[in-house]
Chains A and B, each alone.
Chain A
Amino acid sequence: MVETILEMRDITKTFPGVVALNHVNLSVKAGEIHAIVGENGAGKSTLMKVLSGVYPHDSYTGEIVFNGQVQAFGDIADSEHLGIIIIHQELALVPQLSIAENIFLGNEQSNNGVIDWAATHAKTKQLLKKVGLKESPSTLITDIGVGKQQLVEIAKALSKEVKLLILDEPTASLNETDSDALLELLLELQREGITSILISHKLNEISKVADSITVIRDGAAIETMDCSDGPIPEDRVIQRMVGREMSDRYPRRTPNIGETVFEVKNWQVYHPVHPDRLLIKGIDLNVRKGEIVGIAGLMGAGRTELAMSVFGKAYGKHISGEVRLHGEAVDVGTVRKAIRHGIAYVTEDRKALGLILHDDIKRNISLPNLGRVSKSSVIDEGQEFSVAKDFREKLKIRCSSVRQQVMNLSGGNQQKVVLSKWLFSQPEVLILDEPTRGVDVGAKYEIYTIISQLASEGKCVLMISSEMPELLGMCDRIYVMNEGSMVGEFSAAEASQENIMGAIVRAGSH
C-alpha cells in the first residue's frame, strides 16, 4: 500500500463573480507523477496556488493534508518549508540577474551575510548539469530563451529541499526535444523519491510520464484515473476534459491556394545588443494567397527574431532585405506601417509583448485598430464593447465579462485575447508565433478552425510553432529554420517529423 503524501479536501475558492474551485478533492500518492489536466480556466493553476500558499489559508475553504498533517499555509515560504515547491505558469525569474543569482535568490550561499560566490557557482554548475543546461552560471536570464529559463526554474526548485514539485505547464514554451529532456528529468527525480504534480495541455507527454491523471472541469475534480494498468487512451482523457467526444484534432480543410502574396527576400538581421552578430542570415520565404505556411525549428533557430524584424523592424539592428506584397516592395520600417500594409504578428510572449495586463479585455482587443471603433478620434464605446463580445463568443473566451482585467484570466484565455486583438486588425498576412501555447485541446481546435477560416478567406498565414504535430496537421507547406537560415522546405505531402528533424540535424552537422 503506497502512502498518500497529499490530500486536498473539499477546496472551494472564489473570486469576485467567479467560482474558480468548487469542492475539489485531490489525493496524491508519495513518489508518483500526478498529472492534472483540464480546459483553460478550469481552475488548475488556482488549485496549485491554493496548495502552495500563494492564496493563504483563510482565502479559501477546505483543508490540505500534507505528510499526514493538516496544514495552514500563510504564504509560499510556509509551503516551501515543507518541501512543496511550485514552478508557476508564468516564470518568476529576475531578468537582470544571472542564472546563479536567480537560483539562490532568497536562499543565498553565504557566510554571515557575505555571499560565497565560489560555492554559489559550484552548486549552480551542478544543478545546471542535472537539468541539462550548458550555460555558464553568470549568464543573465534576459540573455537566454524562455525554454532555458524554464530549466533554470527547475534547477532553482532543486536547490531547495523539494519533496513535492509542482510544475504548471512547464513544457508550454518548449519544443519537443527540450520537453522530452524535461520529462526525462522528472522521471529521474521520481527515482530519487520526489513526487511531482504536472499540469499540461500536451496529453502525449502526460501519457508518457504520469502515474495518475486528475481531470478538472469548471472548477470541479471530475475523475482521477490510475495509469498503473497501462496508459489511458488520450481520447478518453479529452472526453472527460471537455465533456463530450472530440473526433478530430484538426479541422478538415481543402486548401484553395492562389498567387504569391507575401514575400521576404534576402532578409538579414543583426543582434540588437551585439551588432556584429548576424542572427538572420539572408532568408527568403513566401506565402501564397490562402496558404498556411509553417516554420519549424529548434529553440533559438531565430524564428521569432525573423517574424519580429519583419513586423515593423520590432527586433534587431541593421536590418536589410525586402518585404514584398503582391509583388511590390513595401516599407515595413515601423510597426504602424506594417499593420497598415495588413501584416499582423501574434507574439509568443503574451504577458510582456501582447497584453496590457491591468486593462480589460475590450480595451486590449481594440488597441491595434482603434480607428475601427472610433469616429474622428472619439471612441464609440458601444461598438468597442460589442466587438469584444463578438470575439468572446467566437473564440469562447472564458471571463465574467469583457470588462474583466486580462490579468485575472487563465493563461489560455489570455492567449485568446491576444489572438482576438490581431484578428480585429483584419490582417492580410497573419504571423502567428506559438499561437496555441498553453491552450487546451478544445480551444486549440477552435483556434485552428479560425486559422483555416482565415486561409479560406484568402488570407496568408505564417505559423511558427514548436509543436510539430500542429505544424503537420495544419500547414500546406513547412519551412525548417536552423540558426538563422532556412534549411529545408516541405510540402504538406512530403513533410513528416523525421524529415524535419533530419533537415535540422543535417544543417547542424555542416
Chain B
Amino acid sequence: MSNETAVLPPVAEKKKYTGFLRKNIREYAMFLSLIVIMVFFQIKTDGTLMMPLNLTNLILQNSYIVIMALAMLLVIVAGHIDLSVGSVAGFIGALAAVLMVQHNVPVVVATVICLVAGAIIGAAQGYFVAYTKIPSFIVTLAGMLVFKGLTLALLDGQSIGPFPEIFQKLSSGFIPDVFNHETLRLTSLLIGFIVALVLFSMSVRQRLAHTRQEMEEEPAAFFWLKNVLFAGIMVYFSFKLSEYKGLPNVLIIMSLLIVLYNFVTNRTTVGRRIYALGGNEKATRLSGINTSRLTFYTFINMGVLAALAGLVFAARLNTATPKAGLGFELDVIAACFIGGASASGGVGKVMGAVIGAFIMGVMNNGMSILGIGIDYQQVIKGLVLLAAVWVDVYYKNK
C-alpha cells in the first residue's frame, strides 16, 4: 500500500480549466444557450424581444411554467414523473373561480382553500406512487384524465370570470412605485439592483468559505465571469422592466420560490435525500431514510405548486376556462429535461430547470413575434428538447 496513495501527478493549470469545464460544461452551456437564443431573437425581431412591454409579458407568460418546473424537478430527481400538473392547475383555476366568482368567498380564504386542495391532490397521487408502488407514470396519467374531467364538470363547460380585482393583481399587478417618477419605476429598479448585489455578495462569500476549506474547484476566471454576467443581466432586466410598469408581483413570487428551491436542493438534508432516493432507492432506504415518505412529500409539494400555478394562470386570464392548463405538463417536463435533469432520477438542478423554462419561453415568444405559426413552433420546440438531451448524453459518454 503506497502511503502517498491519492496524490496525483500535478495537473497543469490549463488542464485544470479544461477538466473543470468538461465536468461542468452542461451548466455553462445552458446559461450560454439562453443568452445566445435571446440575442438571436433580439436581432431577428429588431429589438422587440427586449422591449419593456414584451419582456414583462415574457415573464408573465412563463411564470406558471417556472413555478411548476421547480416542483417537477424534485419529482423527476426523485425518479418519478407527474403528467397531471396541467390538469391540476386547470382544475384549481376552476375551483378558484367557482369559489370567488360564484360563491363570493373572500379571496384570501379561497386562495388558501385552493392551495390546500392542491396539497390533497398531490397527497392522493403521492400515496399511490409511494405506498402502493404503482408507477408514477400511470398514477398521474390517471390523475390527468380525472382532473381534466373534473374541471369540465366543475365549470359545466363554461368559462367563469371575471375575478375580483385584488385576485387579478396576483398576475397583473406590479410593485407599487414610491418615487412617482414619470418614465422610470425607481423602486423596482432599486429592488432589482439590491437583489443582484445581495446574490453577488452571497456567491463571493460562499466562494471565500470554500476556498478556505480548500474545496473550491471552479477556476477564478469562470467564477467572476459568470457572476458578473449574471448580476449584470439582472440589473439590465430590472432596468428594462422599470421602463414599463416595474417588477410584476408574480416575478417576486417566482424569484422567492426559485431562491427557496435552489437552497433546499443544494443545501438542506431533505434536498440531499431526494437526490439520493432518485440515485439508488434501495441504498437510500438502507441508509435509514424513509424513501416512501419522501416520495409522498415530493408529490404533495408538486400538488401545491401546481395549484399556485393554476391560480396565477387564472388570475392572468381573468377567467377560468375548461381549456386552462392544457398541455402545461409538457412544457414543464421539457423545461426540466432541457435543464439537464435525468429521466432515470438523481440528477438535475433547480437553476437548470428555470433556465430550461426560459429557453422554451423565449423561443415561444420570439417565434410568435416573428409570426411563425403554432405548428412549426411545436416542431422546433420538440427538436430543441431532443437536441438538448442528445448533447447531454453525448457528453456523458465522452
Residue numbers of A with Cβ under 8 A of B are 16-19, 39, 217-218, 242-243, 311-312, 314, 334-336, 338-340, 345, 347, 352-359, 363, 366-368, 370-371, 374, 377-379, 381-382, 385-386, 392, 396-401, 403, 421, 425, 440, 442-443, 445-446
Beyond A352-B283, A363-B276, 18 additional contacts (C-beta under 8 Å) are A218-B2, A336-B290, A340-B288, A353-B282, A354-B283, A357-B279, A358-B279, A359-B275, A359-B279, A367-B284, A368-B288, A370-B273, A378-B269, A379-B269, A385-B213, A396-B5, A397-B6, A400-B6
Contact A334 B290 (CB under 8 A): yes
Which listed residue (A355, A357, A363, A403) contacts B217, Cβ 8 A? A403
Q: Contacting B2 at CB < 8 Å: which of A242, A311, A382, A446? A: A242
Asked if B1 and A442 make an inter-chain contact with CB atoms under 8 angstroms apart, the answer reads: yes
In the assembly, what is the distance between CA of A399 and CA of B6, in Å? Answer: 5
Residue in contact with A377 in the complex, picked from B1, B269, B282, B284, CB distance below 8 Å: B269
Question: What residues of chain B lie closer than 8 Å to A335, measured between beta carbons?
Answer: 285-289
Q: Which 3 A-B pairs have the closest CB atoms?
A: A442-B1, A356-B279, A368-B287
Q: Given A16-B23, A17-B11, A382-B213, A356–B267 Cβ distance below 8 Å?
A: no
Q: Please, which residue of chain A has its CB at the minimum distance from the CB of B290?
A: A336
Find A396's partner among B1, B270, B284 (CB 8 Å cutoff): B1
Please tell me if the beta carbons of A385 and B268 are within 8 angstroms of each other in the complex. no
Residue contacts A-B, CB under 8 angstroms, 13 given: A334-B288, A336-B289, A352-B280, A352-B283, A356-B283, A363-B272, A367-B273, A367-B287, A370-B269, A378-B268, A396-B5, A425-B288, A446-B1
Bound form: Cα–Cα A357–B273 in Å: 14
- Inter-chain CA distance A314–B273, complex, in Å, is 18
Is there contact, CB below 8 Å, between B2 and A243? yes
For the residues of A in contact with B, the DSSP-based class is mixed
* A377:B283 contact, CB within 8 angstroms: no
> In the assembled complex, which residues on chain B have CB atoms less than 8 Å from the CB atom of A445?
1
The answer to whether A382 touches B209 (Cβ under 8 A) is yes
A425 CA / B289 CA spacing, docked (Å): 13
A356 to B272, CA, bound (A): 12
Query: With A16-B23, A19-B9 as given contacts, are A382 and B286 in contact (CB-CB < 8 Å)?
Result: no
Are B213 and A386 interface neighbours, CB within 8 A? yes
Complex alpha-carbon distance, A358 and B340, angstroms: 14
Chain B residues with CB under 8 Å of chain A are 1-3, 5-6, 8-9, 11, 19, 22-23, 209-210, 212-213, 215, 217, 267-270, 272-273, 275-276, 279-280, 282-290, 346-347
Give the residues in chain B near A421, CB-CB below 8 Å.
287
Residues of A with C-beta under 8 A to B285: 314, 335
A358 touches B6 (CB 8 A): no
Whether A352 contacts B282 by the Cβ 8 Å rule is yes
Distance A340 CA – B270 CA, assembled complex (angstroms)? 18
**Given A339-B288, A368-B287, CB of A385 within 8 Å of CB of B215:** yes
| A358 engages B346 (CB within 8 Å) | yes
Nearest B-chain residue to A379, judged by Cβ: B267
Instruction: Give the residues in chain A near B210, CB-CB below 8 Å.
Output: 381-382
Smallest beta-carbon distance A241→chain B, Å = 9
Residues B288 and A382 in contact, CB atoms below 8 Å apart: no
B286, A347: Cβ atoms under 8 Å?
yes
Residues of A within 8 A of B289 (CB): 335-336, 367
